[in-house]
Amino acid sequence: MPHPTLLTGRVLRTLDDPFIAAPETALRIETDWGVVLQDGRIADIGPAATLRANWPQVTEIAYGRDLICPGFVDAHVHYPQTAIIASWGKRLIDWLNSYTFPEEMRLADPAYADAIATRYLDLTATHGTTTVCSFCTVHPGSVDAIMQAAQARGQRIVAGKTCMDRNAPEGLQDTAQSAYDDSKALLEAWHGVDRLSYAITPRFSPTSTPDQMAALGALWAEHPDCLMQTHLSEQVDEIAWVRSLYPQARDYLDTYEQHGLLGPNGLYGHAIHLEPREQDRLREVGAALVHCPTSNTFIGSGLFDMAGLMAQGHRIGLATDTGGGSSFSMLRTMAAAYEIGQLRGTPLHAAQLIWLATEGSARALRLDTHIGRLDRGMEADLTVLDLASTPAIAQRAERAESDWDDLFATIMMGDDRAVRATWINGRATG
């Protein structure tokens, strides 16, 4: 048996869903607690004194007042857009054409794809993110690059080849047949290998022909345990474009449903401007929505209705949407979700925000039996937060009236400097 490690400090426990139960009882922050890691899993959790008594052989790493959390789970990203994050002044379709597509072309070079995949996983680890669900580019090598980089780190990730056979530069297009063939080969190569999962990935309805949508729907029907990730109703102009491209469809969601691309393992990014029928249908089939708040403000998309959709019973994850999103940080992403809630008159509690970035996103990815919560038997992915990481946060923390108040200041003002340590698969990174 490998030697166990005991991390002690304040510990975030997840006991219930803070959108159903009262937030402060659903999650708890315990002082002088600890987590025992062994063989890539959480072997024990409890008061530090009890753990020291029960695990006499452990090596203890004492984090004091720092908060030991589940590793952050980023449920919708585009790792190929790492180098063009924070590009100025465009809305969705112009942003894709001006910045995104030219950069994605560069990943045709496998050496460049490897370099960006490594850079991306280094950056996200320093920001406390331990699992991502990523779009790749049209190039199969871009999937190999991120899967190999994650595998070498023992990291749990989900990724898929982005499929497009129209309305994109020629160098970024596949066909209905090659999208099916390449996706199938990649799925067979990577899905379920170590901690890796494959997601079938049509970019969005405007860049796929009905034939390609149907081919990917057929592939999903052959592998229903895979996730299927795409975009839905992000901007008003985009929705009008979809309507003109699919005149037979009842609405945007119907363009997916008509081609076998709506199901319980579907992940629909953005989902801001939904019709009532679309909301009902998504909930009926048990599909997941992914809220990408820094992206929605940065590209000017709109205000996602977190409180309303949660009250209806939707499964919702939280995501940066790097590089349409303007940050690699899930702390910054939680802050943006709070701000969007404020603009809608429904502010989220700190416990709801950190739950969305951990268990909520893990549920969206159907990975919540593996990650997202600190419990015995769960995989050992953890993020340790310094809740006084800058002078500005430290002076606010001095006035904190509760642990939640303390955490909220770091959610609103924190960045990678607040991440004391990131543990992936039971090992400290960096």
409 contact, one of ligand GUN, Zn ion, none, CB 5-8 Å limit per kind: none
Nearer to ligand GUN, 231 or 281 (CB): 231
Q: Which of 85, 130, 138 shows the shortest CA–CA distance to 113?
A: 138
The least CB distance from residue 66 to Zn ion, in Å, is 32
The least CB distance from residue 100 to ligand GUN, in Å, is 5
Return the structure tokens found at 130.
């331990």
Nearer to Zn ion, 269 or 341 (CB): 269
Binding site for ligand GUN (CB under 6 A): 78, 92, 96, 100, 203-204, 231, 234, 295, 299, 321, 324
| Edge-to-edge strands, sheet with 427-428 | 41-47, 27-38, 5-14, 59-70, 382-385, 419-424, 427-428
203 contact, one of Zn ion, ligand GUN, none, CB 5-8 Å limit per kind: ligand GUN
- 316-to-62, 79, 343, 354, 383 alpha-carbon distances in Å: 34, 21, 19, 13, 21
Assess contact for 272 and 316: CB atoms under 8 A. no
9 contact, one of Zn ion, ligand GUN, none, CB 5-8 Å limit per kind: none
Going by DSSP bridges, is the β-strand pair 382-385/419-424 parallel, antiparallel, or unpaired? antiparallel
Distance CA 171, CA 233 (A): 26
234 contact, one of ligand GUN, Zn ion, none, CB 5-8 Å limit per kind: ligand GUN
Amino acid at 188: E
Nearer to Zn ion, 34 or 269 (CB): 269
Size of the site for Zn ion (CB under 5 A): 2
Distance CA 358, CA 17 (A): 12
Beta bridge partners of 5: 37, 59
SS3 content of the chain, % helix, strand, coil (to 5): 45, 25, 35
314 contact, one of Zn ion, ligand GUN, none, CB 5-8 Å limit per kind: none
Burial 65-84 (b: 16+ CB within 10 A, else e): ebbbbbbbbbbbbbbbbbeb
H-type alpha helices, 293-348: 293-298, 306-312, 330-343
- Binding mask 325-344 vs Zn ion (x if CB under 5 A, - otherwise)? --------------------
18 contact, one of Zn ion, ligand GUN, none, CB 5-8 Å limit per kind: none
Q: Which of 385, 361, 311 shows the shortest CA–CA distance to 68?
A: 385
Distance CA 430, CA 124 (A): 11
153 contact, one of Zn ion, ligand GUN, none, CB 5-8 Å limit per kind: none
- Binding mask 385-414 vs Zn ion (x if CB under 5 A, - otherwise)? ------------------------------
Nearer to ligand GUN, 328 or 408 (CB): 328
The least CB distance from residue 86 to ligand GUN, in Å, is 13
100 contact, one of Zn ion, ligand GUN, none, CB 5-8 Å limit per kind: ligand GUN
The least CB distance from residue 231 to ligand GUN, in Å, is 4
The least CB distance from residue 79 to Zn ion, in Å, is 11
Nearer to ligand GUN, 161 or 203 (CB): 203
Nearer to ligand GUN, 8 or 295 (CB): 295
Q: Which stretch binds Zn ion (CB under 5 A): 205-213, 268-276, 302-310, 356-364?
A: 268-276
Question: Under DSSP, is residue 315 helix (H, G, I), strand (E, B) or coil?
Answer: strand
The least CB distance from residue 315 to ligand GUN, in Å, is 20
Nearer to ligand GUN, 127 or 203 (CB): 203
The least CB distance from residue 81 to ligand GUN, in Å, is 7
DSSP string, 70-88: EPEEEEEEEGGGGGG-S--
Return the structure tokens found at 294.
């820094």
Q: At what angle do helices 140-152 and 176-190 cross, to 10 degrees?
A: 10
Nearer to Zn ion, 198 or 268 (CB): 268
The least CB distance from residue 219 to Zn ion, in Å, is 20
The least CB distance from residue 388 to Zn ion, in Å, is 34
Contact positions toward Zn ion, by CB under 5 A?
A: 269, 321
